[in-house]
Chains A and B, each alone.
Chain A
Amino acid sequence: MNEIIKVEVFSENVVKLVVKAPRIARSRKPGHFIILRIDEHGERIPLTIAGADEKAGTITLVAQKVGVTSTKLCEMKPGDQILDLVGPLGKATHIEKVGTVLACGGGVGVAPLLPIVEGFKKAGNRVVTILAARSKDLIILEDEIRQWSDEVIIMTDDGSYGRKGLVTAGAEEVIRREQVDECIAIGPAVMMKFTSLLTKKYEIPTQASLNAIMVDGTGMCGACRVSVGGQTRFTCVDGPEFDAHQIDFDELMLRLGCYREEEKEAFERYHQSVNA
Chain B
Amino acid sequence: MQEYLKQQREQAWRVELRGKIKNKERGEIQRVKMPEMNPSERVCYQNREVNLGLTVEQAVKEAQRCMDCVNPTCIEGCPVSINIPKFVKNIERGEFIEAAKTLKETSALPAVCGRVCPQEKQCEASCFYTLKLKKVPVAIGYLERFAADFERESGQMTVPETAPKNGMKVAAIGSGPASLAFAGDMIKLGYEVTVFEALHEIGGVLKYGIPEFRLPNKIVDVELSNLEKMGVRFERNFIVGRTASFDDLKAEGYQAFFVASGAGLPRFMNIPGENYNGILSSNEYLTRVNLMNASDPDFDTPVLRGKNVAVIGGGNTAMDSVRTAKRLGAERAMIIYRRSREEMPARVEEIHHAEEEGIEFINLTNPTEYFADDKGRVNRMRVQRMELGEPDASGRRRPVVIEGSEYDIPVDVVVVAVGVSPNPLVPSELPQLKVSRWGTIEVDAETMQSSMPELFAGGDIVRGGATVILAMGDGRRAAAGMHNYLQGN
Contacts and interface: CB of A to CB of B under 8 A. Distances in A.
Interface of A: 23-24, 27, 37, 41-44, 68-69, 83-89, 215-216, 218-223, 225-227, 232, 237, 251, 254-255, 257-259, 262-263, 266, 269
B375 A254 contact: yes
Nearest to A84: B200
Contacts of B288: 215
Contact of B243 (A88, A222, A257, A269): A88
Given A84-B200, A219-B264, A232-B268, A227 B292 contact: no
A257 B278 CA distance: 11
Contacts of B236: 84
A68, A223, A259: residue with the most chain B Cβ atoms closer than 10 Å? A223
Interface residues of B, number: 44
27 contacts: A24-B243, A27-B244, A41-B293, A41-B300, A42-B299, A43-B302, A44-B292, A69-B300, A86-B237, A86-B238, A87-B239, A87-B242, A88-B242, A88-B243, A218-B264, A221-B266, A221-B281, A222-B281, A222-B284, A225-B268, A232-B275, A237-B424, A255-B277, A258-B304, A258-B377, A259-B302, A262-B302
B277 A258 contact: yes
A27 B243 contact: yes
Given A27-B243, A251-B376, A259-B302, 15 more contacts: A43-B300, A44-B292, A84-B236, A86-B237, A215-B292, A220-B287, A221-B280, A222-B266, A223-B280, A227-B275, A232-B268, A232-B270, A254-B376, A258-B278, A266-B302
Nearest to B286: A221
Contacts of B64: none
Interface in B263-280: 264-266, 268, 270, 274-278, 280
A86 B278 CA distance: 27
A157 B298 CA distance: 38
A89 B244 CA distance: 12
B237 A85 contact: yes
B198 interface: yes
B37 interface: no
B171 to A, nearest CB: 14
A86 B242 CA distance: 10
Contacts, number: 121
B400 interface: no
A216 B270 contact: no
Interface of B: 198-200, 236-239, 242-245, 248, 264-266, 268, 270, 274-278, 280-281, 283-284, 287-288, 292-293, 297-304, 375-377, 423-425
Contacts of B423: 218-220
Nearest to B277: A258
A219 B198 CA distance: 11
A257 B198 CA distance: 27
A82 to B, nearest CB: 10
Nearest to A68: B300
Nearest to A253: B376
A226 B268 CA distance: 13
Contact of B264 (A87, A89, A220, A255): A220
Residue among B238, B280, B298, B303 with the most chain A CB within 10 A? Answer: B280
Given A218-B425, A220-B266, A255 B287 contact: no
Contacts of B283: 220-222
Contact of B268 (A27, A222, A259, A262): A222
Contacts of A83: 200
Contact of A43 (B266, B292, B298, B424): B292
Contacts of A24: 243
Contact of A23 (B244, B275, B278): B244
A5 B405 CA distance: 63
A247 B287 CA distance: 27
Contacts of B298: 41
A3 B424 CA distance: 31
Contacts of B425: 218-219, 237
Contacts of B245: 27
A269 B377 CA distance: 24
Nearest to B293: A41
A257 B376 contact: yes
Contact of B376 (A41, A222, A223, A255): A255
Contacts of A225: 268, 275
A259 B287 contact: no
A89 to B, nearest CB: 7
Nearest to A234: B265
Most buried by B among A215, A226, A232, A263: A215
A41 to B, nearest CB: 5
Among B239, B245, B274, B288, chain A packs the most CB atoms within 10 A around the CB of: B239
Contacts of B304: 258-259, 262
Closest 6 CB pairs of A and B: A254-B376, A262-B302, A221-B284, A86-B237, A220-B264, A43-B301
Contacts of B270: 232
B275 A255 contact: yes
Contacts of A226: 275
Contacts of B376: 251, 254-255, 257-258
A86 B300 contact: no
Contacts of A219: 264-265, 423-425
Given A232-B274, A232-B275, A257-B376, A220 B265 contact: yes
A89 B242 contact: yes
Contacts of A237: 424-425
A232 B280 CA distance: 13
B439 to A, nearest CB: 12
A85 B243 CA distance: 11
